[in-house]
Amino acid sequence: MRILAVAVLALGLQLQAGSLDEFLNNLNVRAQADRNGFAMQVASQFHVGDAAVRLVLGDVREPADAFMVFQMAEMTGRPHREVLDVYRSRRGKGWGELAKELGIKPGSAAFHRLKNGDFRLSGEAGAPDDRPGRGRGKGHGKGHGRD
């Protein structure tokens, strides 16, 4: 089992799941296998210092919750401290409730992304988005073909 966890970390596989709960559970397993590596990946992906990540990790129930604090901050354009304050005041509520509190509208693309667990921990800032319609295809816009 430990070898499998290390293999997942070594390959940097994307954690995709059918729901947010599955994604968060997988993320917790990954974080438990290598907490320092997890913290460094979160810091890198969300452009925050290691100290900020460790502070949030010390203030949430699960490592995946720390990831979600930074993810929600990115999605809403709010500082992670503000998201953490909402998390603290709404302990026991789900991430859907926190998202609504932070201004993400139910039914919006961002809310669906949240509910589907459509996130990744890549450790790379601005990691490429591999969802349909967002690739580097052979577009026919300006600079593609005709002058």
Helices vs. strands in the chain: H and E counts, helices first: 8, 0
Residue 11 lies in a domain: no
Q: Which two tokens stand for residue 35?
A: 């907490």
Residue 141 lies in a domain: no
Q: What type of residue is 35?
A: R
Which of 44, 22, 41, 16 shows the shortest CA–CA distance to 31? 41
Q: Tell me the pLDDT tens digit for each residue of 29-61.
A: 999 999 999 999 999 999 999 999 999 999 999
Range of the domain at 56: 16-116
Domains identified in the chain, total number: 1
Residue 46 lies in a domain: yes
Q: What type of residue is 2?
A: R
This prediction's pTM: 0.72
